[in-house]
Amino acid sequence: MSVTIKTKSELAIMREAGKITCGAIWYAGERLRAGMTTLEVDKLIGAFYAKYGCRSAFKGLYGFPANACISVNEEVIHGIPKQSRRLKEGDIVSIDTGAVYKGFCSDSCWTFPVGKISDDARALLETTEASLFEGIAQAKEGNRVGDISHAVEEYCSSRGYGIVRNYCGHGIGRKVHESPEIFNWGRAGHGPRLSVGMTICIEPMINAKGDDVRTLKDGWTVVTQSGSLSAHFEHCVAITPDGPVILTVQ
């Protein structure tokens, strides 16, 4: 993988792709109800993309079978939507997806509550979301990837949460995954330097307890080793002369 620098016109396309992806995530997320299946959630994502004349960047990527990764409770990432998986009151659900629009990709994730959730679950969601914006604040021209990584790690570890170390954020453009890799832990002042025109995905994956994860027998779904809850928030961000610009917003 290599780092790609986007022109202003390419960034404009990526902004449109990001807007569609954000719309799809919130369209599905606001409709989550106890009794829904994760496959039904995935179909909402697919229908939204079809409405805008684009397709999921995830479906078929490395063989993934669905429009979105739908991960519930202790599932960290890459949950496969299933008709047999029904949501319950109190669940937390991560919807991770991206669109392909005019040759460019977007990628974003948000974790939603299903009905009333526990105070511990709410605190995990709030901390993980806040850590995303701590990382974004460091996505400035001249900074290094490690500045982003360290900001996320410091925010979450100081509050006693586990940080997933096996998976990371990434560059994005015509491909979903480009360089550089952006971990949620690391040393400030280290790693590749951020340049204007880079587009990156920052995505804290934070566990209520412990860093360790494992992959289920389906070969995709990653869960916490401890069995504790996990939250995942992600934005696609452009490095600009005026600071970080979030692309995955409406």
| 3 falls within a domain | no
| 75 falls within a domain | yes
pLDDT in tens, 108-120: 999 999 999 999 9
pLDDT band at 166 (very low <50, low <70, confident <90, very high): very high
> Angle at Cα 138 formed by Cα 149 and Cα 5, nearest 5°?
95
Interval 8-32 mean pLDDT: 98
| 3-class SS letters over the chain | CCCCCCCHHHHHHHHHHHHHHHHHHHHHHCCCCCCCEHHHHHHHHHHHHHHCCCEECCCCHHHCCCCEEEEECCEEECCCCCCCCECCCCCEEEEEECEEECCEECCEEEEEECCCCCHHHHHHHHHHHHHHHHHHHCCCCCCEHHHHHHHHHHHHHCCCCEECCCCCEEECCCCCCEEEEECCCCCCCCCCECCCCCEEEECCEEECCCCCEEECCCCCCEEECCCCCEEECEEEEEEECCEEEECCCC
Of all residues in the chain, what percent carry a pLDDT higher than 70? 100
Interval 61-74 mean pLDDT: 98
pLDDT band at 2 (very low <50, low <70, confident <90, very high): confident
Q: Whose structure tokens read 């040393």?
A: 187
| 2 falls within a domain | no
Provide the mean pLDDT of the chain: 97
- Write the single-letter amino acid at 227: G
| 185 falls within a domain | yes
| 211 falls within a domain | yes
| 199 falls within a domain | yes
Name the residue range of residue 127's domain.
8-246
| 171 falls within a domain | yes
Interval 196-217 mean pLDDT: 98
Interval 195-199 mean pLDDT: 98
Q: For residue 13, is pLDDT > 80?
A: yes
The number of distinct structural domains making up the chain is: 1
CATH number at residue 71: 3.90.230.10
| 1 falls within a domain | no
